[in-house]
Structure 1
Amino acid sequence: MSATKIPGPGTNVAVCRKERGLSQVALARRAGVSVSLLSKIEVGDRALTQGIAAALAQVMGLTLDELLGAVPVSKADETGLSALNYAIRRFDIPGAPPSHPEDLPRELAELNEHRYRTELRAVLQKLPGVLTRSTNYAHVTQSPDAWTRVADTYSVVYWLAARHRWMHLAELAVMKQRVAAERGRPISVVTAARDEAGAFLNSGDFAGGLAVVDRAIVEAESTLRGRDRAFGLGILHLRGLTLAGRLKDTATVTRHIEAAWRTAAEFPEDIDEHGIHFGPENTAMHVISTSSDMEQHRAALITADDLVRNGLTLPATRVGPLYMNLGRSHLALGDRGSALESLEEAWDVAPEMARVHPTSQELMRVLTSLHRRSNPRLTRLAKRAGVSF
């Protein structure tokens, strides 16, 4: 076994537990997990899933993101993050409108292209300027389309913050997104609700997130028509099945999966609107992720085989997490070789996301802990991730 303690969210559990004077037995019983499982998570023999992490965090008086740990802000990102906070703070203090407002749709599209390629640093560098220009223009014109663009830009802010587990920023982003969306087109209110539910998901309040989704579904059914209605309901059901999966609520998972598939049938292929993808392929990816959350690992792998065989068309933002979830299922079934292969795929497809994603970090931690002999592939990957092994 590696003598080096590889960092990952699971390493925080013992630290937080001991700070609160809890024994493994006491924490395990209060969280409803076995002492054996908790022990294996702490030493790195089992991956910490976000469902278990949420239960442990609640017992210790933490939010999920606090237990998982925020990604430290690097020196290279400090300037961009300060500029982004400044732009958000001045939401209601409009400045000079952009000299070329016709460029705003292209700027947002380019920002989303960086997002789809999981180029987190490029997103952070460009976000403040795009957000400022879009907001200033919306204040001048008071156009629903302009405010919808502002809401869509705040959706990118939420995505970036959630990837780093900068949850104060994520929650601020969804608050501003909601305000902008209420001045925009009806579909933007639905996408804002989807991100608001995501903030609940990231903090570990899965039941609260489901309440947000249920409320938004009712609103979408009464306010949206045509393509917007199908798209809005689809993305809400995907969020709902993820939240229900973390709760291991089989009935609610089934309800959202069935509704998502019915809605996805209205789209021959996945579409990209408001920076969000929806369609048959993304629905399948969410089903795979939720199957892993529900510990239905063989079902997840079977669904993934069919999906990969047909060819993946979605961007790295979706494909990277797919391979992380496959690695999680392979590892749970005892197939370390396939788990490592999936983790390598995630790093190849979405390296910046793999570096900060808790699932990727946990896979790395457990694989390095379990390997008792030198493994050149794992050593190379650990070096790429910036950890010693």
Structure 2
Amino acid sequence: MSTGERPPGANVAALRNARGWSQVKLARKANVSLSLLSKVEVGDRTLTHATAAALAKAMGLTVAEVLGRAPVLRDDEQSLSHLRSALRDYDAPDGQPAVAQQIAAEVARVGRYRDGFEVRALLKQLPGLLRQATTHAYAVNTADAWMALAEVYSAVYWVAARHRWMDMAELAVTRQRWAVEQKANPLGGAVAARDRAGAYLNGGDYEGGLALVDRAIVDAEAALSGPERAFAVGVLNLRGMTLAGRVGDKMEGRREAERHIASAWQVAEELGAEWNRHSMLFGTKNTATHVLATRLDLGMPRDALLIADDIDAALTGLTPTRVAATRINIARARLDVGDRDGALESLSAAYEAAPQMAKLNPMGREVLRVVSSLHLRSNPTLLRLAKLSGVKLQPHVQG
């Protein structure tokens, strides 16, 4: 079984066993309790991001490797190969340049695929679009053309990060930054910094990501004004609060998180409406979903659930991917306070909103594994989600 077919907690056990380590040895090296590690491995506790980071460091891995790469379907292998080739040819324009309207239409389609989590369609589209956008940018050499290319690289990063293909993700954000730097574009620079900080997030370097976000906020505040400034600072603050929520020192994490949360609320009010620009969403609604997730990552599930009480209104109008991610976080919070049935209900809602996203999301798979471990009887919803996700249920659940 590949790492992507295992939920994160089960993957920890496989990685540990592959090294010939005992649970005692890994717990000691990671500075986590033996009881917690044992519960994570057998499926009695969810693997949190902070614990995943500690275990990853102990084993010399990235957080993404601990969470497990998502498997590639055979039909998608050729698209992935073509995409890697297009990434290598970043400085080799090829063929006749497409017209600006065609590139804009294709980039808009990329945004729709991202919003709907249509990963396979996106993976199929990206190789050709990346080559077209590269040729177009070299041909016309305008800020808009280079920004369009940067947005394609952002989509490559998005696909790679969700599959935990971190070599591709880090290369994509490097290319994205290179593209926006060809012509002065402060908003594009802020978006690129937000994605680059995501690579720090997936690598488990939360402090480094926070430093990058803070520099980018200073740059955006100096170079932008009006709604663009509010949007740029806002999306960076969302990334900042996520990074802060996963810092190992929870006191420092809470301090940093509250700073980014306060700033995000302020600029969201200034913006006055939800903005979706360059496949980035920001406003009061998306801020609420990120605050919920951050409270949960900080070990405050009851505070997260207080936000969840009013989350339905906030989720109205948001993209299916954001809705599904939030439902998964609510499931995690409910599981943390012992509400197994509520966790399963929230997880089912995540699958209804964006099935592909819920299936690929490592924490969605982890919550499902733990819920299945804790249930003492067969449950139709549990069996249905297990079939959709490919997560193997505990024997006693199957009757």
TM range (shorter): over 0.9
Q: Quick one: distance in 2 between partners of 1:262 and 1:268?
A: 10
1-side partners of 2:255 and 2:332: how far apart?
23
- Contact 1:9–1:48 (CA under 8 A) maintained in structure 2: yes
Cα distance change on mapping 1:310 and 1:66 into 2, 3 Å: closer
C-alpha separation between the residues in 1 aligned to 2:317 and 2:307?
Answer: 16
Shift of 1:388: 4.2
> Secondary structure at the residue paired with 1:47?
coil
Q: 1:203-223 CA distances to partner (integer Å, 9 max, x unpaired)?
A: 111111112111211211222
Q: Give the aligned partner of residue 324 of structure 2.
A: 320
Matching residue of 2:207: 207
Letter in structure 1 aligned against 2:284: P
* C-alpha displacement of 1:23: 2.9
Q: Which amino acid aligns with 1:140?
A: A
What is the CA distance between 1:311 and its match in structure 2? Answer: 5.3
Structure 1 match to 2:397: none
Higher normalized contact order (CA 8 Å, seq sep 6+, divided by chain length): 1
In the alignment, does 2:64 pair up with 1:60? no
- CA distance 1:264–1:135, change in 2 (3 Å): same
* Residue 99 of structure 1, CA deviation: 4.2
Q: Which moved more, 1:299-308 or 1:155-164?
A: 299-308
2:312 paired residue number: 308
Question: Hey, what does 2:294 align to over in structure 1?
Answer: 290
Asked if structure 2 preserves the Cα contact closer than 8 Å seen for 1:155 and 1:192, the reply is: yes
Contact 2:113 2:119 in 1 (8 A): yes
CA RMSD in angstroms comes to 1.4
Q: For residues 100 and 255 of structure 2, what CA distance do their matches in structure 1 show?
A: 48
Q: 1:99 to 1:14 in 2, by over 3 A?
A: closer
Contact kept in structure 1, 2:264 and 2:287, CA below 8 Å:
yes
Structure 2 match to 1:224: 224
- Amino acid paired to 2:306: I
Distance 1:150 1:311, change over 3 A: closer
1:236 — aligned with what? 236
In the alignment, structure 1 segments of 5+ residues that lack a partner are 1-5
Q: Which runs of 5+ in 2 are unaligned?
A: 394-399
Moved over 6 A (4+): none
Equivalences for residues 62-77 of structure 1 within 5 A: 62-77=61-76
Q: Indicate conservation of the 8 Å contact 2:111/2:278, yes or no.
A: no
Distance 2:314 2:62 in 1: 39
CA contact (8 A) 1:194 1:235 kept: yes
Q: How does 1:1-389 map to 2 (within 5 A)?
A: 7-184=6-183, 185-247=185-247, 248=250, 249-309=253-313, 312-389=316-393
1:163-207 superposed Cα distances (whole Å, 9 cap, x missing partner): 110111100100100100112422111111110000010111111
- Offset of residue 309 of structure 1: 4.0
Q: Distance in 1 between matches of 2:78 and 2:19?
A: 36
Q: Structure 2: how far apart are the matches of 1:114 and 1:387?
A: 25
Shift in alpha-carbon separation, 1:61–1:310, aligned structure 2, 3 A: closer
Per-residue CA deviation, residues 314-344 of structure 1 (Å, 9 max, x unaligned), is 1012111000000000000110101001111
Moved more, 127-136 or 138-147: 127-136
Larger mean CA deviation between 10-19 and 173-182 belongs to 10-19
Contact 1:98 1:137 in 2 (8 A): yes
In 1, the alpha carbon distance for the partners of 2:306 and 2:96 equals 52
Q: Does the C-alpha gap of structure 1 residues 267 and 226 become closer, same or farther in structure 2, counting only changes over 3 Å?
A: closer
1:147 deviates by 0.2
Please give the TM-score of this superposition, normalised by the length of structure 1.
0.95
Preserved contact between residue 7 and residue 365 of structure 1 (Cα < 8 Å): no
Between 255-264 and 126-135, the greater mean CA deviation after superposition: 126-135
Q: What TM-score, normalized by structure 2, do the two folds share?
A: 0.93
Once residues 43 and 81 of structure 2 are traced to their aligned partners in structure 1, the CA distance between those partners, rounded to angstroms, is 36
Q: Are the equivalent residues in 2 in contact too, given 1:324–1:343 (CA < 8 A)?
A: yes
* Structure 1 CA distance for aligned equivalents of residues 101 and 381 of structure 2: 49
Residue 148 of structure 1 contacts residue 183 of structure 1 at CA under 8 Å; is this kept in 2?
no
C-alpha separation in 2, matches of 1:310 and 1:202: 26
Q: Give distance in 2, aligned partners of 1:384 and 1:70.
A: 18
Amino acid at match of 1:373: R
Q: Deviations over 1:244-267 (max 9, x none)?
A: 100131111111100111111112
Aligned partner of 1:191: which letter?
V
